[in-house]
DNA sequence: GAGGGTAGGTTGATGCGTCAACCCGGGCGG
DNA sequence: CCGCCCGGGTTGACGCATCAACCTACCCTC
């Protein structure tokens, strides 16, 4: 039907690059996530939480700190922490008499210690080493620029209540 | 706890670039998806199907062709097409006496015609123009390299039954 | 000290993505 | 003809992500 092809809102090169990016992004993520899941029984969300907890001084954080760190919505945090608690990866410790702290359990610590190096090696093999030092830095910078643009776009062209979570 | 920080499986620069990439990827996607959803009531999955259908000669494709085009699992295709049919964006036409063809409805066509230019403009603003011609091409090339590496990795280090969908 | 606002968190509904299991018809070896 | 596999497709169950609504302790102001 050529709805898009006949009115190229992105020109050919732009389309090509954009679609390559989309494909890479999806393929790489799917691949990494699948491995994490099959080898360690962890989802990428589990991994993200565990990384953040394990990087903290004490292995304990408030839920909303995790929210800031991960940029997730609070309800997502809440839901996911519940699931992780059921599986014994974390535990909620009521110390503040109000807001529980999220504590990394022994099991959670084992899990992250086991899978992090494997995961990192895979990231290195499939991304870091493929791109090489220079393109990595370039990509990092590019990412910052895009992030800035999105932030700007959020601030200027969205009514505040549309901006969402953060 | 410094589990990760003390044993840097990626060095500092690598981490920084990788995490910038992750953040950009998520932020950009969330932003685009949210707009698509709020302004047109379309999910990114809807959009992807509609783009593919609308780019075909006839506006009709077999489900498995859509599967190839999108790289989705067959069950995902099936589920999603059902949902889209319920909403009147597509329709299943039984022409082959066995496998139905997926047909773009009038409504589906309207939807994609309405949202594609807006979406493309946003992609341009937040991505294409931010990066500029050169970095775009560089990124496109980089994406191809990463894709190749993942393909390679799938072929070599995964047992065939783990490789998944396609 | 009563009312309102707000930040942190929970809950439920709904849509999406994946996995495993199944269905079904066509091709093929015996 | 029977049994088998295989490709295309559907289904159900489950975990995940988002949205909207709600709860609640604290703070502020009057």
Q: How far apart are CA A141 and CA A48, in angstroms?
A: 22
pLDDT at B160: 47
Flag residues of chain B having pLDDT under 50. Answer: 160-166
- Per DSSP, the three-state class of A29 is helix
Q: With bands split at pLDDT 50, 70 and 90, how would you rate the model's confidence at A126?
A: very high
Partners of A90 in the beta sheet?
A104
Judged by average pLDDT, the poorest of A28-42, A85-99, B27-41, B45-59 is A85-99
Q: Tell me what percent of the residues of chain A surpass a pLDDT of 90.
A: 75
C1’ C22 / CA B75, Å? 12
Q: How close is the nearest chain B Cα to the Cα of A75, in Å?
A: 16
Residues A139, B146: contact at Cβ < 8 Å?
no
Every domain of chain B and the residues it spans: 29-131
pTM: 0.89
C1’ C10 / CA A33, Å? 28
Q: How far apart are CA B18 and CA A124, in angstroms?
A: 10
Judged by average pLDDT, the poorest of A52-56, A64-68, A92-96, A137-141 is A92-96
Q: Which of B8, B15, B18 to mutate to test the interface with A (most CBs of A within 10 A)?
A: B18
C1’ C13 / CA A79, Å? 14
Average per-residue pLDDT for chain A: 88
Chain A positions touching B23 (Cβ under 8 A) are 71, 143, 147
Express each pLDDT in A65-79 by its tens digit.
Answer: 999 999 999 999 999
Q: Are the Cβ atoms of A4 and B138 closer than 8 angstroms?
A: no
Q: With bands split at pLDDT 50, 70 and 90, how would you rate the model's confidence at A3?
A: low
CB neighbourhood size of B56 (10 A): 19
Q: How close is the nearest chain B Cα to the Cα of A54, in Å?
A: 5
The two tokens of residue B12 are 């500092």
pLDDT at A97: 64
Chain B positions touching A21 (Cβ under 8 A) are 139-140, 143
Q: How close is the nearest chain A Cα to the Cα of B25, in Å?
A: 8
Positions on chain C within 7 A of a protein C-beta? 7-13, 15-21, 25-26
CATH 3.40.640.10 assigned to B29-131:
no
Q: Are the Cβ atoms of A149 and B130 closer than 8 angstroms?
A: yes
> Which member of B125, B145, B154 has the closest CB to residue A153?
B125
Partners of B90 in the beta sheet?
B104
Q: How far is CA B58 from the centre of its chain?
A: 22
Ramachandran category for residue A6: left, alpha or beta (phi over 0 → left; psi -120 to 50 → alpha): alpha
pLDDT at A162: 45
pLDDT at B7: 54
> Based on C-alpha coordinates, what's the Rg of chain B?
20
pLDDT at B11: 85
CB neighbourhood size of B114 (10 A): 13
Is any atom of strand D within 7 angstroms of residue A97's beta carbon?
yes
> Which member of A56, A58, A128 has the closest CB to residue B18?
A128
pLDDT at B46: 98
The DSSP annotation for chain B comes to --TTTTS-SS-HHHHHHHHHHHHHHHHHHHHHHHHHHHHH---HHHHHHHHHHHHSSSSEEEHHHHHHHHT--HHHHHHHHHHHHHTTSEEEE--SSSSPEEEE-HHHHHHHHHHHHHHHHHHIIIIIHHHHHHHHHHHHHHHHHHHHHHHHHHHHHS-GGGS---
Closest to A61 in 3D by CA, of A71, A50, A45, A72: A50
Q: How far apart are CA A77 and CA A45, in angstroms?
A: 10
Q: How far apart are CA B134 and CA A17, in angstroms?
A: 11
């Amino acid at each position: 039907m050529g709805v898009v092809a006949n009115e190229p809102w992105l020109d050919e090169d732009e389309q090509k690059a954009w679609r390559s990016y989309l494909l890479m992004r999806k393929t790489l993520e799917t691949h990494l996530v699948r491995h994490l899941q099959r080898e360690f029984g962890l989802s990428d969300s589990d991994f993200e939480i565990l990384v953040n907890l394990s990087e903290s001084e004490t292995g304990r954080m408030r839920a909303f700190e995790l929210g800031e760190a991960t940029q997730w919505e609070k309800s997502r945090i809440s839901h996911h922490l519940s699931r992780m608690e059921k599986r014994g990866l974390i535990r909620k410790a009521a110390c503040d008499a109000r807001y529980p702290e999220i504590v990394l359990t022994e099991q959670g610590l084992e899990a992250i210690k086991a899978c992090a190096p494997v995961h990192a090696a895979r990231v290195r093999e499939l991304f870091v080493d493929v791109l090489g030092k220079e393109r990595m830095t370039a990509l990092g910078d590019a990412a910052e620029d895009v992030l800035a643009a999105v932030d700007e776009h959020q601030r200027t062209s969205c009514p505040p209540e549309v901006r969402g979570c953060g």
